Amino acid sequence: MSSPSYPRRRDPAKIAGAVIIVAILAVASLLIVDWMGRETEPVVLRVYTYDSFMVWGDDPATIDNRTFDAFEEQYGVEVRIERLTTDANGIVSRLVAEAANPVADVVIGIDNILILQEEAKSVLTPFTPSNLNLINDTLVNLLDPQHHVVPFDFGLVTVIFDSIEINATTNPELDALTFSDLATPELASALVTENPFFSSPGLAFLLSEIAFQEKLLGQDWEDWWSAVKDDINIQPGWSEAWEVWDLDPERKLLVSYGTDPAYSSWWSGEAPTTSVAPYHHDGNDYAWLQIEGIGLVKNGPNPTIARAFIEYCLTSAVQENIATNQWMFPANMDVTLHPAFDYALHPDDVSPLNDLLSAAEIAANLTTWLDEWENIITSW
């Protein structure tokens, strides 16, 4: 018979080799990326913040360079803004987990409610920047008199609406909104808010309601939630809530920030269609003041540079970027605001509801309020 060419046995060593090569390539590429991202400067300053930090401007890709390059050059360090895919609560959780071996030096985004938690304080070292005089004293004290965190920016949390779909003509109560108005079936079915467990505007809204009902009206705060719980829409976070508000024709009111009209106008280049409806009582407008702080991580690797960085963050070099990238008010009052901010709800326009609830009262009752809220909302 003609000698056929018999197939050689496939060598499994080759297959194993191929797998090993794939593994090595994957590890190598990761190591290379790791190495390339490694500190080009001798010192790396890690700043933990939340995912949407300064990403709302016209060029989010370069905002870090534009804002922090000057500091990097001056101190010969690399500043790395680590936007964790979470919010300030998540950052505190991470810092608690990392407490034995912290890698971050600075944290931005812990607000005036979160700082009341012992866990938040436990991961921070109080620090009083030498240039703290740039910031309004009231803000500093409202946030944390002990300076675990000092103000970075602030904003007002209130109800907003799309004035094309709903306005003072269709609903006159929007001009002087009360929680009783929000409890009517019509407005309750139009409201989207955020879960206070997962979202700081959601928590601000809960505290606003408590302050308004208990302190201004002397009513039981729980009744309002019992009345609206089946009608309002509660989303886990602000962006989910915004999406529902944007998509769902039924949902015309959103718990959000008083700067939203400014953003709307800046984004469209026209007069904003987004309007604000602060809460109204007895001739006064009210809103919740949220102050976001910057603080020094306890036992962080580079405390000296970190302190310098916090001071740098209070200067106009950083502060002037806040308005049009973060859409909050800069804590530094000397900064000139973008004209779009004319449409925003300004702190001068309202009385902060925070004044009605002392820090001590919030610190003592927050967990109870949240548990009771959870109980009301989940009941059938």
Partner 1 sequence: MEKRVKGHITERIGSLLVIVVPIVILLIFLVYPVIVVLIGGIISDPFTILVDTFSSQVTQRTLWFTLGQAGLSTLLSVLVGLPGAYFLTRFRFRGRSLLRALILVPFVLPPIVVVVGFLRVFGSGGLIDAALMTLLNASESVVNLSSGILGIVLAHVFYNIPLVILMVSASLERLSPEVEESAEILGASVTQKFVRIVAPQIKSSVAASSILIFMFCFMSFPIVLALGEGRLMTLEVQIWNAFRYFEYDEASILALTQVVITLALAYSYVKLTRTSDDGAVITSYMKTRELAELANRERILVAIYVASLMVLVAGPFIAIVQAAVFDPFAGEYTFRGFTNLLAPGTGGGLLPLLNSLSYSLLATILAVVLGLSLAYSHKSRVRAVPSLASSLTLLPLGVSAITVAYGLMLAITVPLGLNTNPWMVIVVAQTIIGLPFSTRAIEIALQNIDPEILDQADSLGASRLQRLLYVEFPLLAPGILVGAVFAFAMAIGEMSATLFIALPQNTTLSIAIYQFLGVRKFVEAGASALIVAAICFIAFLVIERFSETAQGGTP
Partner 2 sequence: MVRVELDGMKRVFKDGTFVGPISLTVEDGELLTMLGPSGSGKTTTLRMIAGFIQPLEGSIRFDGIDVQAVPPRERGIGMVFQSAALFPHMTVYQNIAFGPEMAGWSQSETVERVEELSEILRIQRLLMRRTNEVSGGEAQRVALARALALRPRLLLLDEPLSALDPQLRERLQMEIKEVQKTLGVTTIYVTHSQDEAFAISDRIAVLNEGVVVQIGEPQDLYDSPRSAFVARFLGSGNVFSGVVEESSGNTATVRVGGHLFRVTGSAPVGMEVSFTVKPEDVVLSTEVSVKGIRGRVLGVVPQTGSFRIKLSFEGQDVVVETNDDRLVEELLESTGITVSFSFSETNAHLLNHQV
What are the tokens at 70? 């000057």
Burial per residue of 191-214, b for 16 or more beta-carbon CB atoms within 10 angstroms, e otherwise: bbbbbbebbbbbbbbbbbbbbbbe
| Cβ neighbours of residue 195 closer than 8 Å, sequence gap 6 or more | 202, 234, 235, 236, 237
Site string for partner 1, 42-81 (x = CB under 8 A): ----x----xx--xx---xx--------------------
Say how far apart CA 334 and CA 138 lie, in whole Å.
15
Site string for partner 2, 1-40 (x = CB under 8 A): x-xx-xxxx-------------------------------
- Rounded to an integer, what is the distance from CA 44 to the centroid of its chain? 24
Say how far apart CA 18 and CA 127 lie, in whole Å.
55
φ/ψ of 150, rounded to 5, equals: -120, 155
Instruction: Establish if 164 lies at the interface with partner 1 (CB under 8 A).
Output: no
The partner residues of 297 in beta bridges, in order of sequence, read 124
Say how far apart CA 129 and CA 312 lie, in whole Å.
9
Candidate list 17, 18, 21, 34; residue touching partner 1; CB under 8 A: 34
By CB under 8 A, which span of 117-125, 164-172, 176-184, 280-288 interacts with partner 1? 117-125
Instruction: Establish if 97 lies at the interface with partner 1 (CB under 8 A).
Output: yes
Whether residue 210 contacts residue 365, with contact meaning beta carbons closer than 8 Å, is answered with no
Please choose which of partner 2, partner 1, none residue 37 contacts, taking the beta carbon within 5 to 8 angstroms, the exact cut-off set by kind.
partner 1
Q: Please give the residues from 180 up to 219 whose contact with partner 1 meets the rule CB under 8 A.
A: 195, 197-198
Query: Looking at beta carbons only, is 7 or 283 nearer to partner 2?
Result: 7
Q: Which residues bind partner 1 (CB under 8 A)?
A: 9, 12-13, 16, 19, 22-23, 26-27, 29-30, 33-34, 37, 46, 51-52, 55-56, 60-61, 82-86, 89-90, 92-94, 96-98, 100-101, 103, 117-119, 195, 197-198, 229, 233-237, 239-240, 242-244, 247-251, 366-367, 370-371, 374-375, 377-380
Q: Which residues bind partner 2 (CB under 8 A)?
A: 1, 3-4, 6-9
